Amino acid sequence: MHHLWRIFLKSIASSGHASSMRTVSVLIIGLWVCSLTGATVAQAQFGGPPLPPVNNPAAPYYLPGTQPPVVGAPFYPPATPPGAMNQPLPPLNQPWQIDPNPGFMGSPPFGYMPNYRDVPIDVTVSEGQTGRFSVGGSVNSDLGVAGNIILEERNFDLFRLPSRPSDMFNGAFRGAGQNFRLELVPGNLVQRYTVNWTEPSLFGYSPFSFSVGGFFFTRFYRDWSEQRLGGRAALGYDITPDLSLTTEIRGEDVKIFNPRNDLVQSLNDALGSNDVYTGRVRLAHNTRDSPFLPTEGHLLELIYDQVFGEYDFPRGQINYSRYFLVRERADGSGRHTFTTAFRTGFAGADQPIFENFYAGGFSTIRGFQFRGASPVESGIQVGGRFQFLGTLEYMFPITADDMLRMVAFVDYGTVEKDIEVNWDNFRVAPGLGFRIAIPAMGPAPLAFDFAVPIAYSDNDDRQVFSFSAGLTR
């Protein structure tokens, strides 16, 4: 208000009586308009005494370029910057502007905003290391021995092409915040080669992400060999920081060869090349504090697949894991964690043998060989259309530095040819294990587990010891 009185006094001193009357009229009209909007132009433009809180989320009033207020939270206009009182006032005859982006909570009455100034701010930052090249290897009771070569760039730019050869090492393909990952995994039982590109903010700073990738996969199973060549495209949306929705389309050629015998018709029907296309919708809620050794939070996945091509069938999966922090030291170390987890899945009758559910091994039910807790037909592990697998686990540290942990667990579940639970085939395997965390060998700990099945099917392949160890440098 004192800005307006200053303008009034200056105008009287420098003009005649008629000019002063026009000035007074302008000021009276301006004060009346400001009373309707709940704030004066002087307050909106140049700060001044704080306005009362605006707690009406239906018609909030805020300046462009500021953060929209949280619903129900008080909002005050920005304070007058130092030295602003000594700056010349802007002309009063400038028209008000229509706000082109009123914000997600609405705009002032009639959609108008007063003129405002942009204040330049210089920010100096230094870019960190965004590229990674790592070489490692792993040995696993499920997957055998494999090497691992990873080339990753987390600040990739697909459209920043090099203009000369030296640009390949000096800024080419970098700068847009995209992610590029090339992974080569040669092994004696598994060979996997993948390439993937991801745009984490599809429309600038937004919750949408988009990724495309290709893969070549070879796996030598006990009963046949399998080769997959294909690609995928996925669109993701982060509903909240913990809740995400993903849609994906995948196409692949699946080649089945080297069958163990020709006594199973479902295996004979799948020999050769099979064109498989899958549309997927995945809803995930993830509050875990770590992807490798979580001690708190949960992960819930709801997955629906519709497969078409040479085969046409639906498939649904529900995966849930919950981690309870039982106790810890005062500094946050020495955590004892209790975990309960289960996964269930079911599929249509047209699901081929190479898409069936299987169980047994380090990642499903310990105490059995890989796929060794699955339905068997004529000596062939044929899997099934239904699975229900679960585990109860208690993990606690043995050493003061948390490098060595011990785990007690009970794995249970079944895989059935049809959508049912046959209690004669239900498996239960309690056991003990160790986890060794060595930072120099990578983020995933070494795992060694011993389990003894106490409930199993006569055709199961049992195995007391299972393990997983890897090295990444």
Number of domains in the chain: 2
Per-residue pLDDT at 78: 46
- In this structure, the answer to whether residues 241 and 106 fall within a common structural domain is no
Report the alpha-carbon distance of residue 409 to residue 157 in Å, rounded: 46
Residues 465, 341 share a domain: yes
Look over the chain and give the mean of its residue pLDDT values, rounded to a whole number. 81
For the chain, which ranges sit under pLDDT 50? 1-2, 4-5, 8-9, 11-29, 31-87, 89, 92-113
Do the domain assignments include residue 125? Answer: no
In a domain, 417, yes or no: yes
**Within-domain flag for 68:** yes
pLDDT value for 165: 77
pLDDT for residue 47:
42
Q: What is the pLDDT of residues 219-230, one digit of tens each?
A: 999 999 999 999
Structure token digits, residue 410: 């009970």
Q: What is the pLDDT of residue 438?
A: 85
Question: Which residue, among 173, 97, 184, has the nearest Cα to 130 in the 3D structure?
Answer: 173
DSSP string, 155-173: EE-TT---SSGGGGGTTTT
Distance from the first to the final alpha carbon of the chain: 66
Q: Assess if residue 150 is contained within a domain.
A: no
pTM confidence score:
0.71
Residues 54, 74 contacting (CB under 8 angstroms):
yes
pLDDT of residue 334: 92
Residues in Cβ contact with 32 at an 8 Å cutoff, skipping those fewer than 6 apart = none
DSSP character string of 109-127: GGGEE--------------
Q: Indicate whether 101 and 233 sit together in one domain.
A: no
> Do residues 398 and 256 share a domain?
yes
On whether both 103 and 229 belong to a single domain, the answer is no
Say if residues 243 and 300 touch (Cβ distance below 8 Å).
no
Question: Where a domain ends, among 55, 85, 113?
Answer: 113
Residue 248 in any domain: the answer is yes
Phi-psi region of 110 (alpha: psi -120 to 50; beta: other; left: phi over 0): left
CA angle 337, 300, 232 (to 5 degrees): 125
Instruction: Look at residues 452, 409, 454, 401 and name the one whose alpha carbon lies nearest to residue 434.
Output: 409
Q: Do 99 and 64 touch, CB atoms closer than 8 A?
A: yes
Q: How far is CA 119 from CA 54, 88, 101, 122, 159, in A?
A: 25, 16, 19, 10, 32
Q: What pLDDT, on the 0 to 100 scale, is given for residue 30?
A: 52
Ramachandran category for residue 111: left, alpha or beta (phi over 0 → left; psi -120 to 50 → alpha): left
- Asked if residue 225 and residue 109 are part of one domain, the reply reads no
Q: DSSP states of 215-284 as a string?
A: EEEEEE-SS-EEEEEEEEEEEEEESSSSEEEEEEEEEEEEEEE--S-S--HHHHHH-EEEEEEEEEEEEE
CATH assignment at residue 240:
2.40.160.50
Residue 380, in any domain of the structure: yes
145's tokens: 């021995």
Residue 445 lies in a domain: yes
Both tokens assigned to 322: 């919950």
Question: Could you list the residue range(s) of the whole structural domain that residue 447 is in?
Answer: 221-472
Last residue within a domain, chosen from 113, 135, 154: 113
Dig out the tokens for 104 from the structure. 């997600």
Secondary structure of 411-434 in HEC code, one letter for each residue = EEEEEECCCCCCHHHCEEEEEEEE
Residue 378 lies in a domain: yes
Domain boundary among 62, 90, 113: 113
Rounded to 10 degrees, what is the CA torsion of 78, 84, 88, 89?
A: 20
pLDDT, residue 117, reads 62
